[in-house]
Homo-oligomer: A and B are copies of this chain.
Amino acid sequence: MPEDDPRFADVYDADLGATMLEMSRRVTGVPQYLGIELVGIGPGWVAGEMSVRPELLNPFGAMHGAAVAALVDHVLGSCVFPLIPRGTWPATLEFKLNYLAPVREGVVRAESRVTAITKRTAVVHVDVLNEGRIVATALGTISLNPPKHDG
């Protein structure tokens, strides 16, 4: 698991973090299909996992890149939620994803960490791990939108 980031110790909403972990076991839609579950959360980080299943493999026996991209997208925004005021709405502006090695079996874990955050945006790194090695890495930007929508 990533370490807690002391920069965020004061603002971290531990109750919200606990609720997010609990809710992630009841997701529907795309995360449910992929089997994505949050397995850890803390000040400035989130960890999410999915298991390799036959229907997530491409014809060459490797996990479809789209599944990895979906996992990355899922954990990217999650880590900022417990750091921002209730009502503020985080929206992923963009991310860049590098595929590093094929995934063939086992569990895929994505760990996201907040690298920097202002009132308006957050920048997040994601590492994706499988069988003891790094298989993908990503860097993305989150927009933090105020409760009263202004654009």
Chain A interfacial positions (CB closer than 8 Å to B): 28-31, 33-34, 54-58, 64-67, 69-74, 91-101, 115-116, 118-121, 123, 125, 134, 137-139, 141, 143, 145, 150-151
Contact = CB atoms under 8 A, between A and B. Distances in A.
A116 B101 CA distance: 9
Contacts of A64: 29-31, 70, 73
Contact of A121 (B33, B34, B143): B143
A148 B99 CA distance: 21
A52 to B, nearest CB: 12
Contacts of A92: 65, 99
Q: How many chain copies? A: 4
Given A31-B64, A33-B33, 17 more contacts: A29-B56, A29-B57, A30-B56, A30-B66, A33-B55, A69-B73, A70-B70, A93-B98, A94-B96, A94-B99, A94-B141, A96-B97, A98-B115, A100-B116, A115-B134, A125-B137, A139-B139
Chain A interface mostly: mixed
Contacts of A97: 94-97
